[in-house]
Structure 1
């Protein structure tokens, strides 16, 4: 059974969205296009940004356009949600604002679907997971790159290959973002690799134990921080994830999902990140294309799972406490790159729990943090 309140079916989920910037506009279109949701409110510190986003939505194609004259606008999540009669919140603010927005919504009695990452640090993510459990509400993190039909097929086929030896993931892109990303420390690890680390957790089907990581920045890089990283993760059961990535690799670029090879007891699975995976069984086996079952993908897939879990009580694959380990993989990789040492994931989680407990002054949330300390989700 779930530990969060569920909502009855029979009508669309009434949603307030927080954040109306670039990614926020993608979410507005997705919410409007879904028959399972109804946009009833938009929250943004800049109300003109919110109005412009709604005007763009109303002028969009019929499948994503919606009547917006009744959508409530404001700067306060709880206030807008109360005025609009909302059932749930979608949080598309910057990561530094996630905790404040999520906790305001949760303690107003509203479940939240929050864009990744949950927070800038594991400690803040843990505080949010504990707050959600204290409030009795669902907090789900939108790891949108989990929601690909081809990734479903890959995970299914890998599950039939027996014991996993090595999972290789290569990611090579050369985007010129401009702005803050080109000034970030650890830009590849912090800004992108969480998607691939999270996908590896799904493919392998167990949790990471430790990591050794090195970073470097090629001489031609247009990033101030390290744009390249190589990491080896050990997982429960002995499988290894070998990750190699670059933000400044022009020519023959990979998919945004990366390029994958899974070597296992009974064969090998390959995925280019975009098309159907292939599987080769046994010695000398020829690759065979796996069946791919259609589904809602990316943020539409995350939204569909959020709604389904609120209807059924099923715990989503990226429930906040479960998602913490994906963020911990990033922190551990950064710590390894900085120290030159192998870093244990449990050590990162333990230190983050201590930090979270030291910062948290609400007794009910502290009690949930103590339970998370002993729980399988982060133990």
Structure 2
């Protein structure tokens, strides 16, 4: 049984409390934290939990309840103080992506977790779907021969899907693309080396900052990935993981994921396409826990066994996904100039260590 303190009961945090945590067995939420009395009252009422388990601060909750894991479901700018307090108190931590506001903060949290001997887990939930798991396996096996080129396209229309953060800086790269960048690393089994990126806004866009972008990303294994993402597409929307084409010597591997939330008739799909032959839909693997439930189950299992399962996203691992976002932002600010990932990581390594 994993004992959890959940911090954050806003819109997203309450969704975790009401729809995600109940799907994962062998978990006990021993305390809930939110500074808002209204949020605490609502959660106590709707979750049917005694009010004595709700606290206005993490400090108060840590004093009152013992736990194995602090689950932070708060705004990004609150990730750092919540995680730092929990780690310094000797607790394991799980955060949403992006797990810090800056590379400096991210590096400091990873360093603190290592020095305290505690787990810092990041909920990269797109990893916990069958299509990317199968795509990673087929790519590693070279099922279609060697591959050195991949295309990934993400198309959504923010005004039509309830997006409301019109003033968020870098709504594509900082908020959405980290999902795609993280999947790139997982599926290709390689780390990015450098990126060239352009972003822009569109006519009559409600976004204050650029919601559209294109990038070329080079990986250590020689793969070049052509990425395009848009929150203002006038065309057919893609699933949230985007539409992927992995170009191999003997055919194409096409796949997409996280479509069941838009159209239940089109869940994850993986298809092999060969010249002059009929499309070959692939049988997807069964995953017992999907999406955020998958990340939470994997985190609890890692705490219990001390061994991280394959594709687990720790803070140390996720630094590279976060660094790719930072490099993309830097490249866009330099009018599409190539930016080395090592440059961004070097800046993070220069961060001052958190004092324990």
Q: Specify if TM > 0.5.
A: yes
* 8 Å Cα contact 1:40/1:70 also seen in 2: no
> What is the distance in 2 between the residues matched to 1:361 and 1:99?
11
Q: Find 1:15's aligned residue among 4, 24, 33.
A: 4
Q: Structure 1's 71 and 172: CA in aligned 2 closer, same or farther, altered over 3 A? A: farther
Offset, 1:313: 1.3
Offset, 1:308: 1.1
> What is the distance in 2 between the residues matched to 1:361 and 1:302?
26
Match of residue 262 from structure 2: none
* 8 Å Cα contact 2:246/2:253 also seen in 1: yes
Q: Structure 1's 286 and 32: CA in aligned 2 closer, same or farther, altered over 3 A? A: same
Report 1:217-236 matches (<5 A). Answer: 217-236=201-220
The question of 1:314 aligning with 2:307 is answered: yes
Offset, 1:25: 1.2
* 8 Å Cα contact 2:23/2:293 also seen in 1: no
The question of 1:36 aligning with 2:26 is answered: yes
Offset, 1:207: 0.3
Offset, 1:108: 1.1
Match of residue 293 from structure 1: 285
> What is the distance in 2 between the residues matched to 1:255 and 1:333?
22
The question of 1:184 aligning with 2:179 is answered: no
Match of residue 69 from structure 1: 50
Name segments (4+ residues, structure 1) moved above 3 Å.
Answer: 283-286
Deviations 1:127-175 (A, max 9, x none): 0000101111000010111111222122122222243311111001012
Q: Secondary structure of 1:257's partner?
A: coil
Normalised TM-score (structure 1) = 0.85
Q: Secondary structure of 2:148's partner?
A: strand
Report 1:183-332 matches (<5 A). Answer: 183-273=167-257, 274=259, 275-280=268-273, 284-295=276-287, 296-315=289-308, 317-332=312-327
Deviations 1:300-335 (A, max 9, x none): 000010011111212352110110111111111111
Deviations 1:23-79 (A, max 9, x none): 101211221332121111101111321221232223xxxxxxxxx127621133243
Offset, 1:122: 1.2
Structure 2, unpaired ranges of 5+:
260-267
> What is the distance in 2 between the residues matched to 1:207 and 1:53?
41
Q: Find 1:169's aligned residue among 137, 152, 155.
A: 152
* 8 Å Cα contact 1:171/1:245 also seen in 2: yes
> What is the distance in 1 between the residues matched to 2:52 and 2:251?
53
Q: Secondary structure of 1:158's partner?
A: helix
Q: Find 2:38's aligned residue among 32, 36, 48.
A: 48
**Equivalent residues, number:** 338
Q: Find 2:342's aligned residue among 336, 340, 346.
A: 346
* 8 Å Cα contact 1:123/1:352 also seen in 2: yes
Larger displacement relative to structure 2 (15-24 or 45-54)? 45-54
Offset, 1:266: 4.2
Q: Structure 1's 190 and 237: CA in aligned 2 closer, same or farther, altered over 3 A? A: same
Deviations 1:217-240 (A, max 9, x none): 111322111111000100002101
Q: CA RMSD in A?
A: 1.8
> What is the distance in 1 between the residues matched to 2:182 and 2:52?
35
> What is the distance in 2 between the residues matched to 1:216 and 1:121?
22
The question of 1:143 aligning with 2:124 is answered: yes
* 8 Å Cα contact 1:212/1:231 also seen in 2: yes
Structure 1, unpaired ranges of 5+:
1-11, 59-67, 365-379
* 8 Å Cα contact 2:112/2:354 also seen in 1: no
Offset, 1:284: 4.2
Deviations 1:274-299 (A, max 9, x none): 32201236x54543222212221111
> What is the distance in 1 between the residues matched to 2:75 and 2:230?
24
> What is the distance in 2 between the residues matched to 1:105 and 1:72?
18
